[in-house]
Amino acid sequence: MTLPIERARSKRPVTWLTIIGVLMLPVVIGGILVAALYNPTERLDTLNAAIVNEDEPVTIDDQLVPLGRQLTAGLVEGAGDDTSNLTWTISNADDATSGLADGTYAAVITIPENFSAAATSTAPGGTPERATIEVTTPPDSLVVDDAITAQVTQTATSVLGEQLSSTYLENVFLGFTSLGTQLGTAADGAVKLADGAQQAADGAAALPDGATQLATGAAGLSTGAASLGTGLDTIAEGTSGAAAGAGALASGLRDAAAGVNNQDLVGAAQATAANASDAATQTVGVATSAGDLAMTLGTLAAQCVQPSPTSTFCADLAAAAADAGTVATDAGAAAKAAGTASGYAQPTADGIAQLTTQSSAGLTEAAAKTDELSAGLTQLADGTTQSADGARALADGATQLGSGADALAAGAGTLATGVQSLADGTDELATGLRTASESVPSYTDGEAQSLASVVADPVSAEGAGDSLFGASAIPLLATLALWFGGLATFVALQAVSRRALTSRAPSALLALRGFAPAAALGALQGVLVAVVVQLAASYEVGQWLTFAAVCVGAGVAFSAVNQGLVAVLGGAGRWVSALIGVLAVATGVVSTVPGVLSEVAALMPTSPAYNGMVAALTSADGLGAAVVGLVVWTVLSFAATTIAVARRRTTSVRALLQTAAPIGA
């Protein structure tokens, strides 16, 4: 059965089979594209990949850490509740290489030997190193296969990396808590140290005053010891003189005793009495002086301060005091003997002979005692001389002690300043440690784990689809199907009637006769493409109805545009139409195309159709502008076709003669 529609480039009539073929072409194109490309992640199990795990596990804190096995398990199990995943095969290097070459595997994931060691290299004592895996695809892999493999692998490695980072950060946060506690303990210790340092500073501050007092006392001691030495020298000289006098007295007493028997008894008695009285008086004076000296030396010995551990001055002074006491005792005994002799020397008429005998004996005894007194005074003089030397040595030592005490006072002042600085610095240290302890955050195990999970993956994207094609995939595929359907319509149908030259109908009507069947086919193509899309994507009714309306409008507009291109440009119009379709594909897949191509594509008739479909299926704006754009392209294209028809209705005489010549012949 034929139809009253002209076939392009042929006078054969158009049949219903031709119409059905033109009508079904965009449906077949759209169906194939949607079935092949829409939501490919739902069919990931048809993509085979191999895993080659060469990782050597490591041991940390006596625990085996096989991160290569964990990554393998993560790849095989997939991410979370998402059941779509590649079909993984755990293989070896040789099998993976041959499988990649013969097409068995679309990709090979190789986990190197040092994967676990590198992934755990952030542990204390290790050298940080990034863990890597190798993804190998065949050189003839399809366009999106590499992207799918990379996305799945990246997801698995990201999850494992997040787990490792979370564990590491959890330990870091718990370490903050331990650090804060230890800083608090250190701050407490620093406070105690500051208190001790302050006490030491207070003691050191008092030390210069004590050292100054010591220097003053040492100076006084030096002066007193020098005076004592001078006095002891005087005493020694006097004692030496007393010893000499006692020796002379002893000689006189012996002479007196010897002369008692040779002189006149009365005169001898009188002389003896006088000598004995003088000896008694002098001996009492010596005894008194020796006693005073013994008391003075005893007092000095009691107050003596040892100049040095090896000095014998104090011991010598005590010995001199003891010798002076002995001399005083001997002098007292001599004085008593001299007094007795004096008493015996008093002559009486009746006992002169007896007196003479007793006086001689007394004088002899007094002479002996006086000799002993002389020897004792000589020893006392020597001891006093030694004491004087010791006193002078004490004076020199006290002078040195005073100089040392002055230096000690100066050093003690410096020490006090330094210890005070130490105390101030320690107090600042305690304050700083306390501030640091309060500034370091503290976490419980649960808080550390929760915070570590957030810090390890601090940013997440909500609303981002996991499909390799976005929401614009369906509108792009539908636009392409309808555009090439419009192109196919005027591959089969005549854009401008061959009877335009001889017809009496207006040019607009002739153009409409070519456009009407094409527009009807375009509208039906839009409906059928919308049905195919609904079967694949299952949109809501409201969305689909709007989408279907835009598809119908696009089918009609594309018929008008393709008619206009063929009508104006002839066969070249079909070539231009094909370029427009290619440009729509090129600018609709990715946003990184050159700006010139995007600007040109925005001016093409496919642009309002695509924008209208996107607005119908998403929350994007621009539906009204898209409808207006389709209407404008339809009107402009029909006008261009009308002009082309009008031009076809004019011809030259030569053309008519050429057409009529064969008839006349």
Predicted pLDDT of residue 630 = 94
Most confident of 22-31, 193-202, 275-284: 193-202
Return the percentage of the chain with pLDDT > 90, whole number. Answer: 10
Closest by CA position to 225, among listed 401, 417, 14, 462: 401
Assign residue 58 a region: left if phi > 0, alpha if psi is -120 to 50, beta otherwise?
Answer: beta
Q: How far apart are CA 42 and CA 44, in angstroms?
A: 6
Give pLDDT tens digits for 66-95. Answer: 888 888 887 787 655 555 567 888 989 899
Which pLDDT band holds residue 284 (cuts at 50, 70, 90)? Answer: confident
- Locate the DSSP E strands across 355-466: none
pTM of the model: 0.51
Q: With cut-offs at 50, 70 and 90, classify the pLDDT of residue 615.
A: very high
Which of 17-31, 222-236, 402-416 has maximum average pLDDT? Answer: 402-416
Instruction: Say what the pLDDT of residue 92 is.
Output: 92
**pLDDT at residue 664 in the model:** 43
- 246-261 pLDDT tens trace: 677 677 767 766 765 5
Q: What is the pLDDT of residues 181-224, one digit of tens each?
A: 776 787 787 778 778 778 877 877 777 777 677 678 767 767 87
- Categorize the per-residue pLDDT at 462 as very low, low, confident or very high, splitting at 50, 70 and 90: very low
pLDDT exceeds cutoff 50 at 350: no
For residue 618, what is the DSSP state?
A: S
24 near 488, Cβ under 8 Å? Answer: no
Question: What six digits make up the tokens of 661?
Answer: 């010549």
As a dihedral over the C-alpha atoms of residue 329, residue 332, residue 334, residue 340, rounded to 10 degrees, the angle is -140
More confident residue, 44 or 243: 243
Of 190, 191, 349, 207, residue with least CA distance to 269: 349
What does residue 31 show for φ and ψ, rounded to 5 degrees?
Answer: -65, -45
Radius of gyration of the chain (CA): 68
Measured distance CA(103)–CA(105) in Å, rounded: 5
- Answer yes or no: are the C-beta atoms of 29 and 481 closer than 8 Å: yes
Task: Please state whether beta strands 87-91 and 58-60 pair in parallel, antiparallel, or not at all (unpaired).
Answer: unpaired
Is residue 626 within 8 A of residue 608, CB to CB? The reply is: yes
* Better-scored residue on pLDDT, 494 or 611: 611
Residue whose structure tokens are 């209208």: 612
CA 573 to centroid of chain Cα atoms: 69
Across 60-74, 344-358, 556-570, 591-605, least confident range = 344-358
State the Cα–Cα distance between residues 126 and 124, nearest whole angstrom.
Answer: 6
Confidence label for 665 from pLDDT (cuts 50, 70 and 90): very low
pLDDT band at residue 421, thresholds of 50, 70 and 90? Answer: confident
pLDDT for residue 24: 66
* pLDDT confidence tier of residue 658, bands split at 50, 70 and 90: low
Closest of 390, 648, 297 to residue 499, by C-alpha: 648
Most confident of 75-84, 349-358, 397-406: 397-406
Q: Who has greater pLDDT, 511 or 610?
A: 610
**Token digits of residue 90:** 């755990």
**Could you identify the residue written with the tokens 């787990």?**
163
Neighbours of 599 (CB within 10 A): 10
pLDDT reported for residue 633: 95
Which pLDDT belongs to residue 648? Answer: 75
Torsion over CA of 446, 449, 455 and 458, rounded to 10 degrees?
Answer: -80
More confident residue, 244 or 80: 244
Per-residue confidence (pLDDT) for residue 460, from 0 to 100: 38
pLDDT, tens digit (0-9, with 9 covering 90-100), for 430-445:
787 778 766 666 667 6
Which is higher by pLDDT, 132 or 265?
132
Q: Which domains does the chain have, with CATH numbers?
A: 2-38+472-664 (no CATH), 44-183 (3.40.1710), 222-437 (no CATH)
Cα of 585 vs its chain's centroid, Å? 52
Q: What is the mean pLDDT of the chain?
A: 74
CB-based contact 88:50 (threshold 8 Å): yes
Closest by CA to 286, choosing from 332, 337, 320, is: 332
